[in-house]
Structure 1
Amino acid sequence: MELSKGALAGITVAVILIVGAIAYWLTRPSFGEISGKGYDYAMALGSACNGKDEAKIAKITQMIDQSTQDGELQSYEADWLKGIAQQANDGKWEQAYASVRTLMQEQTQPANPLPELD
């Protein structure tokens, strides 16, 4: 069965769109910007995950809940952080630590270029 040029072009466009959508999905940020308090909790979670410290994870989760109630953390930040804590609670220590690293990397901002010094 031979395909017409139009059908072949349509298939090509569809494949390009699918590949593009997959590439976008794989490279999109997992987390958004977090507050200073959220960053501190992420650092603490990273340390607890690295040490596989279940008691520390439980304490940090309680602190996250309290900070959310006190209005120091946005609910979406708490959700991200508690999701990482849940990975650790499920015994997925490396995955949790990788999530912390991803969250931290996504906080970096490109530096402004230096002015011309000449």
Structure 2
Amino acid sequence: MSIRNRLRLAACQLALICAVLFSGCSYGEVSGNTYQYAKALYSICNRHDAEGLEKASRQIAAAEAQGEITTQEAEWLQEIVAEARNDHWEDAMQDCRQMMEDQIGQP
């Protein structure tokens, strides 16, 4: 392989690595219930509502226990809750937004 081709291959590999590292978290398709929890969490985080956050966390746990949302969905939502609990409200809002945006174009 020539040096030129090796450089092209290296550049492509670097571009792929950067795309993966900087693309952020993607949630894929989630249930309608999980979407509603993401909307509620977005609002809660926007208001920095600690009491609402705890109520939502309990509701998410109950929804998982009742089979209304999957374990994976509950984990994602509880990770957002934990982020907000750690006073990273804006990051939590962005994660909620990402979860909702991931539903665009889903059948």
| Residues 1:99 and 2:95 aligned together | yes
Greater Rg over alpha carbons, structure: 1
Separation (CA, whole Å) in 1 of partners of 2:30 and 2:2:
48
Separation (CA, whole Å) in 2 of partners of 1:90 and 1:29:
19
After the TM superposition, which parts of structure 1 deviate over 4 Å for at least 4 consecutive aligned residues?
none
1:29-75 C-alpha deviation (Å, 9 max, x unpaired): 51111111111111110111011001111111111111111111101
- After TM superposition, the score normalised by the length of structure 2 is 0.88
**2:10 alignment counterpart:** 14
- Which sections of structure 2, spanning at least 5 residues, go unmatched? none
Higher helix share goes to which structure?
Answer: 2
The match for 1:66 among 62, 65, 81 is 62
CA RMSD of aligned residues (A): 2.0
Q: Identify which range, 25-34 or 80-89, moves more after superposition.
A: 25-34
**2:78 alignment counterpart:** 82
Report the number of matched residues.
107
Task: Select the structure with the greater relative contact order (CA < 8 A; seq sep ≥ 6).
Answer: 2
CA spacing shift, 1:48–1:28, aligned 2, 3 Å: closer
Does structure 2 conserve the Cα–Cα contact (< 8 Å) formed by 1:39 and 1:104? yes
Q: CA deviation at 1:16?
A: 1.5
